[in-house]
Amino acid sequence: MSKAPLRVAVTGAAGQIGYSLLFRIAAGDMLGKDQPVILQLLDLPQAQQAVKGVMMELDDCAFPLLAGAVATDDPNVAFKDADVCLLVGARPRSKGMERADLLTANGAIFTVQGKAIAENAKEDVKVLVVGNPCNTNAYIARAAAIKVGRTNPANYHGMLRLDHNRALSQLAAKTGKPVAALKQLVVWGNHSPSMYADYRFTTADGASVKALINDPVWNNDVFLPTVGKRGAAIIEARGLSSAASAANAAIDHVHDWVLGSDDWVTMGVPSDGSYGIPEGVVFGFPCCCRNGGYEIIKGLEIDDYSRGKIDLTLKELEEERAAVASML
Ligand SMILES: NC(=O)C1=CN([C@@H]2O[C@H](COP(=O)(O)OP(=O)(O)OC[C@H]3O[C@@H](n4cnc5c(N)ncnc54)[C@H](O)[C@@H]3O)[C@@H](O)[C@H]2O)C=CC1
Ligand SMILES: O=C([O-])CC(=O)C(=O)O
């Protein structure tokens, strides 16, 4: 017997990431090849015609798993009974624009959407914020949702998976090992150049990647800036932000959260106080997923270098948090 469809709400459905994301969700890449889905697409009134066009193309793919699709400009309709919400819609950073400028522009959007999710979605809804600045937008949506109650505050995430995947790829190139051989990577902190991609625990076919590379100068001067500034490098090259790789990372994040992971995955999750990160701050942590839930991996040793990096990215998040405090 086929499974009952799950409802997936996607905001910013007419945007670039939306265009890379929706077809893969409908093809079963996110929730499984046996899991029917209903897409609930939210975008601004002026983008509704474009969303209709995307829906026409979804029709034309004749996806066997696509059990329905609706388009709306009303968050209460988009999030109704949603099992998963992907909050992609936001004002994207354009060439030369600072992330800080995005904070106020996006704060209002995520207050409204957090409230609408808490009032309308399933009680165990899983929410992933992609729209930047995604950690703080997730923090805002979670704060608005907590005021309503009903949903699980632990289920409001920000997306660090693109940073994780970028770091994996750089490490594979450096070590000459296939991506699939690399295990136990973590990217701590904010989805911004301040993030700290940490391969001290990473193994390649069981061997220590840190020992294989054995090059702290490369780590500090090449690896971390390359991963941290990759988004800006893509914008510089394409004139547009990274859409296909961001969509891929969103699919990876939700896929592993729902279906489980056999390796560590980096997720931007509300801190439970682990590693000295204040409770509630949405922070990139090493996680493992099972039975539809996730856990922060505890007890990893934090050396002085790492503590410095983690504190730096936390400081940035604390500043973002202070900047939006009056909106909450
Ligand atoms: N976390 C991550 O790793 C990454 C995040 N991003 C972020 O994702 C976001 C989306 O990027 P793109 O798809 O390239 O942008 P885009 O500009 O192509 O699309 C954004 C869409 O969101 C819609 N939108 C704006 N406000 C909305 C609202 N209040 N409700 C619903 N829809 C709304 C717009 O009408 C547009 O269709 C940006 O904030 C970008 O910075 C991009 C890449 C990676
Ligand atoms: O800065 C942006 O808008 C794009 C982004 O987050 C990334 O590619 O990491």
End-of-domain residue from the set 132, 158, 184: 158
Note whether 140 and 327 are within 8 A (CB).
yes
Instruction: Kindly state whether residue 84 falls inside one of the protein's structural domains.
Output: yes
Domain that holds residue 263: 160-327
Confidence at 102, pLDDT banded by 50, 70, 90: confident
Distance between first and last Cα of the chain: 45
Which region among 80-84, 103-107, 166-170, 288-292 has the lowest average model confidence (pLDDT)? 103-107
* The last residue of a domain, from among 112, 133, 158: 158
Query: Which residues have C-beta within 8 Å of that of residue 162, sequence separation ≥ 6?
Result: 191, 231, 242, 245, 246, 248, 249
Q: Answer yes or no: is 1 within a domain.
A: no
Ligand 2, pocket residues at CB < 6 Å: 92-93, 132, 162, 231, 234, 241-242
Alpha-carbon torsion (64, 19, 257, 322), positive or negative: negative
Q: Are residues 165 and 57 in the same domain?
A: no
Looking at the fold, whether 135 and 176 belong to one and the same domain comes out as no
Q: By percentage, how much of the chain surpasses pLDDT 90?
A: 91
Residues 187 and 319 in one domain: yes
Q: Which residues are catalytic?
A: 191
Q: Express each pLDDT in 144-167 by its tens digit.
A: 999 999 999 999 999 999 999 999
Tokens of 217: 């100068």
- Co-location of 265 and 297 in the same domain: yes
Identify the domain boundary among 158, 180, 212. Answer: 158
Q: What is the Cα 97 distance to its own chain's centre?
A: 21
Give me ligand 2 centre to Cα 268, in Å: 15
Q: Of all protein residues, whose CA lies closest to atom 6 belonging to ligand 2? A: 231
Lining residues, ligand 1, CB within 6 Å: 11-12, 14-18, 42-44, 47, 88-90, 92-93, 109, 130-132, 134, 159, 162, 191, 241-243, 246, 249
Residues 101 and 172 in one domain: no
Q: Please tell me the distance between residue 217's alpha carbon and the centre of ligand 1 in angstroms.
A: 35
Query: Is 49 part of any known ligand binding site?
Result: no
| Token duo for residue 106 | 């996006």
pTM of the model: 0.97
Ligand 2 center to 242 CA (angstroms): 6
The pLDDT of residue 4 is above 80:
yes
Same-domain status, 125 and 223: no
CATH number of the domain to which 184 belongs: 3.90.110.10
Q: Specify the residue with its C-alpha closest to ligand 1, atom 27.
A: 89
Distance of CA 71 to the CA centre of its chain: 23
For residue 274, being part of any structural domain is answered with yes
